Amino acid sequence: MLEVSGLVAGYGQITILREVELRVGQGELVALVGVNGAGKTTLMKTIAGLVSPAAGRISFDGAGLTGRGAERMVQAGVVLVPEGRMVFPRMTVWENLMLGGIHPRPRPHREATLRRVLDLFPRLAERREQKAATMSGGEQQMLAIGRGLMAEPKLLMLDEPSLGLSPLMVQETYAALRRLNAEGLTILLAEQNVKLSLAVSTRGYVLENGCIVLTGASGDLARDPATRKAYLGRL
C-alpha cells in the first residue's frame, strides 16, 4: 500500500533520513521505533508531504507521490496525526473535527464520519463546544486522532501518540488504535515507547540515525537482543 524507497530528506543543509526503505501493507499496523532524534518525525513528515525529500520515492496504492505536497497526500488517503497533537487551540472540538474533514474528498460525508468519530471517542461528544486548548493532553490526543479520522484515511500515521499522556490515557489511546486496526484501517505508528508499540503492532522497523537498522515481526524485534539492549534497557 505505502512504499518508501531510498528516501533521503532533511532540513536545509542537514540530512536526517539516509536511504530509508519502508513498506506498509493493506490492513497492517506497523510500528516505527527509535530513540529521540533518530528521524522518526522527519520520516513521518516527509511521507505526509510536509518535508520534500532530496531523493528517493514514495508511492501509495501504486501512484508515485514523491514531493507532491501535503494536500496531494490527503487526497490519496494518507493522513498524519502529528507529534505534539497540534490541535487548533482556539477552536472548539467541533471546529477541529470539521477542519479534519475539510478536504474535498472527505467533505461530502463529513456529518456521517463525525458521528463515527464521536462514537469512537464519546468524550469528544461531551466536549463538543469546548476550546481545544482547555482540554487535557489525553483529550487533545483523542481530538487529534479524531480529526485525522475525519479525513477518511486509508493509511493513518501517528507520531508519538503516547507522548506526555498518563498511563491510563496511553492505554485508552492504544485501545482505540487497536480497534481501528481491527476494523480494517491501516496504521503506521511512530513511537519512542518501544515496548508498547511493538506489543500492538504486527511488524516493526527500527530507525537509528536516519537509517532503518532492523525490521521484522514485532514479536521478534521485541525479543531481539540488540533492540532490547538499545531501546528497552535492562528489562
Partner 1 sequence: MSNEVLLQATVQGLQMGAIYALIALSMTLVFSVGGLLNFAHGDFMALAMYGAMVAYVSFKIDAYVVAPIMFIIFFALGVTLFRGLVRPVLAAGVLAGAQLTLGLVFVQENLILVLFGGDYNNVPTVLSNRNLTIPPLVMPWTLIVGSALAAALSIALYVVLLRTDFGRQVRAIAQNRDAAALMGIRIDRIQAIAFGVGIGLLGFTGPVIVAQFTLTPTMGFDLTLIALIVMVIGGIGNFLGSMAGGLIIGVAESLGSLLYGGTVGAMIPYAILVFVLLFRPHGLLGER
What is the C-alpha separation between 31 and 173, in angstroms, rounded?
15
The reply on whether position 108 binds partner 1 by CB under 8 A is: no
Q: Which residues contact 177 (CB under 8 A, 6 or more apart)?
A: 29, 145, 158, 161, 187, 189, 200
The reply on whether position 98 binds partner 1 by CB under 8 A is: yes
What is the C-alpha separation between 147 and 130, in angstroms, rounded?
15
What is the C-alpha separation between 33 and 194, in angstroms, rounded?
6
The reply on whether position 82 binds partner 1 by CB under 8 A is: yes
The reply on whether position 49 binds partner 1 by CB under 8 A is: yes
The reply on whether position 163 binds partner 1 by CB under 8 A is: no
The reply on whether position 158 binds partner 1 by CB under 8 A is: no
Q: Which of 8, 91, 200, 230 binds partner 1 (CB under 8 A)?
A: 91
Q: Which is nearer to partner 1, 71 or 119 (CB)?
A: 71
The reply on whether position 146 binds partner 1 by CB under 8 A is: no
Q: Which is nearer to partner 1, 100 or 204 (CB)?
A: 100
The reply on whether position 95 binds partner 1 by CB under 8 A is: yes
Q: Which is nearer to partner 1, 8 or 99 (CB)?
A: 99
* Cell, residue 77: 488517503
What is the C-alpha separation between 78 and 95, in angstroms, rounded?
21
Residue type at 206 in one-letter notation:
V
Q: Which of 54, 55, 102, 182 binds partner 1 (CB under 8 A)?
A: 102
Which among 80, 83, 86 has a CA at the least distance from the CA of 132?
A: 86
Q: How many CA atoms lie within 13 A of 234 on its CB side?
A: 0
The reply on whether position 50 binds partner 1 by CB under 8 A is: yes
Sheet holding 14-24, edge to edge: 14-24, 2-11, 55-60, 63-64
Residue type at 211 in one-letter notation:
C
The CB-of-217 to partner 1 minimum distance in angstroms stands at 30
Q: Which is nearer to partner 1, 79 or 180 (CB)?
A: 79
Which residues here bind partner 1, judged by CB under 8 A?
48-50, 70-71, 73-75, 79-80, 82, 86-91, 95, 98-100, 102-103, 105, 147, 151
